[in-house]
Every structure is written in structure tokens, then in C-alpha cells.
Amino acid sequence: MDTTEPHEPIDPAVIAEVESDLRAQLDFVHEQIRTLTRNHQRAVFLKQVYAGDPLTRERFNWLAANIEEYRGKVAELKEEERLLTGWLDRSRQLRQDADAA
């Protein structure tokens, strides 16, 4: 995206709405990380509880999803968090620049 071209004026209500949406998305990502971390901790503990006993496919799949896939899922959410935070920062900067002009 070319950022050197002049920007047309944007209604402040639209800017506020966009920033609110980005904050809501960021809050949702944070909640997903908390839930994922809690489920991971539960799965690690349940794996110890189950020890070497045979598991149903459902329990096995749940453990696999919450232990083996944890790092990849957290990495994806952390990247989304990084992007949303950057977009919010850029939005604030653009708003400040427009206010100063």
C-alpha cells in the first residue's frame, strides 16, 4: 500500500468505530489465548491422571489438540495480536497526525 499519497479526510466517528472494532478483536484474541492456555494446562494434568490407561478416541483427540497443537495455535494468536496492536498504533498515529494538520 502506498502511504505517500495524500489522504482524504475521514469522519472521526468512522475512525473511532474502526479503532473500537480493532480493540474488540484484540480483546477476543487475548481471551482465546487465555482459554487455550487453560485447556493446555488441563490437558497436561489429565494426561498425568490418565497415565497409561486406555483412552477413548474422544479423550485422545482432545489431549492431542490441547497438548501437541498448543504451540502452533498460540503462535498464530500471538501473530494476530502483533498485527492488531500494530494497526491500533498506526491508527492512533494517523489520527494524531490528522489532528495536528
Does some domain include residue 16?
no
CB of 65 within 8 A of CB of 40? no
Question: pLDDT tens for residues 9-52?
Answer: 888 889 899 999 999 999 999 999 999 999 999 999 999 999 88
Q: Is residue 17 part of a domain?
A: no
Query: Which DSSP helix (H) or strand (E) runs through 48?
Result: helix 12-50
Per-residue confidence (pLDDT) for residue 32, from 0 to 100: 98
Domain contains 1:
no
Domain of 53 in residue numbering reads as 22-100
SS3 label, residue 5:
coil
Give me the number of domains the chain comprises: 1
Report pLDDT for 37: 97
67 CB neighbour count, 10 Å cutoff: 16
Task: Please check whether residue 14 lies inside any domain of the structure.
Answer: no
